[in-house]
């Protein structure tokens, strides 16, 4: 009987070229802000991307299994933007927007 043993993938014997790419990538994102990409269906965090990320990517939600390509430009929002707009344009800002 042949018992196939699963060996844990070792990260230490990666080729030097790959190690260089990994460390270069880490250096490049230093200081870049990150944001969460959330599932449009259930609002679960699908991925965390850096501020310089753009284009499309194939999203798959681990929670609700929703799977489709999304354009990252359509799925960005500023944190607390509603509160800031109310602060600077007044409490009736959203009512004015809807009545135009």
Q: How does DSSP assign 1-24, residue by residue? A: -PPPPPPPPPSTTS-HHHHHHHHH
Contact 63, 46 (CB under 8 A): no
Q: Does residue 44 belong to the site contacting Zn ion (CB under 5 A)?
A: yes
Phi-psi region of 31 (alpha: psi -120 to 50; beta: other; left: phi over 0): left
Give the residue with the Cβ less far from Zn ion, 56 or 60.
60
Measured from the CB atom, is 23 or 71 closer to Zn ion?
71
When binding is defined by CB under 5 A, the residue of 42, 51, 86, 97 that contacts Zn ion is 42
**66 in contact with Zn ion (CB under 5 A):** yes
Nearer to Zn ion by C-beta: 14 or 64? 64
**Measured from the CB of residue 96, what is the shortest distance to Zn ion in angstroms?**
34
Q: What tokens appear for 60 in the block?
A: 């798959």
Give the interface with Zn ion as residue ranges (CB under 5 A): 39, 41-42, 44, 61, 63-64, 66
């Amino acid at each position: 009987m042949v018992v196939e043993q699963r060996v844990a993938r070792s990260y230490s014997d990666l080729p030097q070229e790959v190690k260089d790419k990994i460390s270069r990538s880490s250096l490049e994102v230093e200081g870049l802000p990150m944001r969460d990409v959330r599932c449009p269906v259930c609002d679960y965090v699908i991925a965390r991307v850096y501020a310089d990320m753009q284009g499309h990517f194939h999203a798959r939600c681990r929670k609700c299994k929703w799977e489709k390509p999304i354009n990252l430009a359509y799925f960005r929002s500023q944190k607390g933007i509603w509160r800031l707009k109310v602060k600077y344009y007044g409490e009736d800002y959203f009512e004015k927007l809807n009545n135009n």
